[in-house]
Amino acid sequence: MNKRVSVCLAIVFVCFGAIPALAQNAALVGTVRDSQQALIPNAMVTLQNLDTSVEFNSTTNELGNYEFPTVRPGNYSVRVELSGFRRFVQNVVLAVNQRGRVDATLQVGDISAEVTVQETTTVVQTESSALGDVVHSRDLVNIPLNGRFFLDLALMTAGTVVPSTNTRTFLATPSGIGISGINASGTREDSTNYLFDGINLSDMVQNQITFQPNIESIQEFKVQTNAFSAEYGRNAGIIVNGISKQGTNSFHGSAFEYLRNEKLDAKNFFDRPDLPIPAFKRNVFGYSIGGPIVKGKTFFFHSYEGRQGREVTTINTQVPTAAERATVTNPVIQKMLALVPAANSGNRFAGTVPRKRGLNQFTGRIDHSFSSRDVFFGNFISNRDSRTEPTLQQQNLPLPGYGDYRPAERYLLSLGETHIFSPTLTNEFRAGANRVHIQFVPDVLGKLNPLDFGLTTGSPVFPNILVSGVMNFGGIEPFPQGRGDTAFQYNDTLSWIHGRHSLKFGGEFRRFRNNNFSTATGGRITFPSLAAFLSGNPSSSIQTQLPVTNSLRVSAFDTFVQDDFKVTNRLTWNLGLRWEYNGVPSDVHNRLANF
């Protein structure tokens, strides 16, 4: 791969390390005036989280402006105080990656008196040109959602579609772990950037979502479709930006079990009325609990979700008839015919074979407030899933018993610390890791020895036997194989409020580790026709003798500057520059060259 440097707008001031460091949070700005609309400097502004009682403090500058550049999305109370004026109080709801505004008008009077705006405000975003839709926790819980995967709700955003269609497959996709991507705004599904708690949740090899956090653990997510700030980069498509749920000052929990099967399902338009619905069973179950460890300071949230799915795959494949079997004299083919089921419908084998899916996901989050100037969080998700395929997947001529087993382990770690140096200077640091380890194990491994069939391939794995246009059985050509990939991420963003300017400087460093392996596979023997197979005359043979492994490493670095310039009270300019560098991959065994 050639060395590639991509420049977005221009090369700018370089500081350490960011895809979006603060983009999973929210910001609140406002202007404080008196009843005569005169600007009020030096007013004390307090922002309190209504769920955790954690407070943040700021003061208005000489223009009467205040800003909280990085706060967790949620329910807040805004309190403005200044001697000689009545206290101003208003509740506000802040969403992920939202830059909201709450202006305050102070009335002359005793500070012990209070002017309270009773209605909770859902802020209309007028401070940024970014476009997108937010899906809140209440929507995740209340909207009927077949399969209970949050990414399905992203399809409510205008211009988004699912990449492929299906009917009654387990959990909406063959993989059993939810849809792996979405098409939006004319871009491919592998152009979408997935973020969770500020850490990239995209599979570095396939560029799809690594896994979907369960909806009990998600506070909200935003689908951003256009006009991104300079904080965002890497991908050309939309951004799906989620945050995990945290504990509050009260204990809350849930337990659930969802059942779906063929007894409860109705037939779809294409089902034959004289045939029963194929066997289908799906169980989704779990729990969640969250609350305080130390009220007002330390909180926890934990969830578990398990999934079990069973369905069937229909097979209708041509096989040799009894009369055709009787003509075989080749001893190797005679032994192979024992692996092929007998015809039960003319010259075909028809039937169903079971498919299974399983998933277990655990999440755990800790939040701690050291002070009103320093807060920390850590979140860890463990997602283990398995999948059995009863037939060969690369050909449409399957026979039962020649599929594979696919166990996978997927993890996400997110750590973050926010420090407020002064009312005008805030820093946020993020570190995390995204890992996936998956294996593809053929059913014939350890069960069929090629030597027992007179095949001296040099591999312990039985080969794939393809009879063109007729049937396909045996091993799977590229299997066994697997990969273990880890992406480490470190980013930092500094926010500075200066007069009418709200500036952000940030950057990110990423380190990718890609380990692939493929053992000495059985290869493939191809026969051009059924007659050629019965006579033992193949047309081609493919064999991989040696194990194939690689251990690739690559680094990437991004940096940006963003300025939200308040030109007037009714006009804000969003200005930004971003620079990205993607390094040259290297192999730890020095087996990769770049010419």
Give dist(CA 91, CA 105) in Å, integer. 15
Do 157 and 86 reside in the same domain of the chain? no
Domain boundary among 245, 267, 283: 245
- 24 found inside a domain: yes
Do 37 and 116 reside in the same domain of the chain? yes
- 5 found inside a domain: no
- 99 found inside a domain: yes
Q: Phi/psi at 147 (nearest 5 deg)? A: 95, -20
Residue 533, H or E segment: helix 530-535
pLDDT at 520: 62
- 519 found inside a domain: no
pLDDT at 359: 94
pLDDT at 173: 47
H helical segments located in 78-178: 137-142
For residue 294, what are the contacts with CB-CB under 8 A and spacing of at least 6? none
Q: Establish how many alpha carbons lie within 13 A of residue 342's alpha carbon, considering only the half-sphere containing its beta carbon.
A: 5
Tokens matching residue 565: 């310039």
Residue with tokens 């708690």: 197
- 70 found inside a domain: yes
Do 135 and 206 reside in the same domain of the chain? yes
**Can you say how many angstroms the Cα of residue 584 is from the centroid of all Cα atoms in its chain?**
26
* Average pLDDT along the chain, 595 residues, taken 10 residues at a time: 35 34 75 89 92 90 89 91 90 87 87 63 62 81 84 82 52 54 75 89 85 93 81 79 92 93 83 81 94 94 94 88 92 92 91 90 96 93 91 75 90 95 91 94 84 80 89 83 92 90 92 84 87 93 75 93 86 90 88 75
- What three-state secondary structure class fits 519? coil
pLDDT at 12: 30
Domain boundary among 77, 99, 122: 122
Domain boundary among 225, 245, 265: 245
User: Which amino acid is located at 472 in the chain?
Assistant: N
Give dist(CA 549, CA 514) in Å, integer. 10
Do 97 and 181 reside in the same domain of the chain? no
Q: 66, 27 in Cβ contact below 8 A?
A: no
Domain count, the chain: 2
Residue with tokens 């820093």: 427
pLDDT at 14: 31
Do 106 and 145 reside in the same domain of the chain? no
- 169 found inside a domain: yes
Do 238 and 187 reside in the same domain of the chain? yes
Helix, strand, coil content of the chain in percent (nearest 5)? 5, 50, 40
Do 114 and 136 reside in the same domain of the chain? no
pLDDT at 461: 82
Do 115 and 153 reside in the same domain of the chain? no
- What three-state secondary structure class fits 212? coil
Do 202 and 239 reside in the same domain of the chain? yes
Tokens matching residue 16: 């350490």
Q: Phi/psi at 423 (nearest 5 deg)? A: -60, -15
Q: Could you list the beta-strand ranges (E) of 151-235.
A: 160-161, 183-184, 193-196, 199-200, 218-226
User: Which amino acid is located at 398 in the chain?
Assistant: P
Do 162 and 96 reside in the same domain of the chain? no
User: Which amino acid is located at 196 in the chain?
Assistant: F
pLDDT at 4: 37
The three state secondary structure string of 82-107 is: CCCECEEEEEEEECCCCEEECCEEEC
CATH of the domain at 134: 2.170.130.10
- CA dihedral (182, 186, 191, 197) in degrees, to 10, reads -60
For residue 437, what are the contacts with CB-CB under 8 A and spacing of at least 6? 408, 409, 410, 482, 483, 484, 485
Do 79 and 170 reside in the same domain of the chain? no
Do 31 and 116 reside in the same domain of the chain? yes
Count the neighbouring beta carbons within 10 Å of the beta carbon of residue 499: 12
Q: 241, 274 in Cβ contact below 8 A?
A: no
CATH of the domain at 58: 2.60.40.10
Instruction: Print the domain residue range for 59.
Output: 18-122
What single-letter DSSP state applies at residue 216? Answer: G
**Straight-line distance from the first to the last Cα atom of the chain, in angstroms, rounded to the nearest whole number:** 9
Q: 310, 353 in Cβ contact below 8 A?
A: no
- 49 found inside a domain: yes
- What three-state secondary structure class fits 397? coil
- 62 found inside a domain: yes
Number of H helices, E strands in the chain: 4, 33
pTM, full prediction = 0.83
Q: Does a cis peptide bond (omega within 30 degrees of 0) precede residue 480?
A: yes
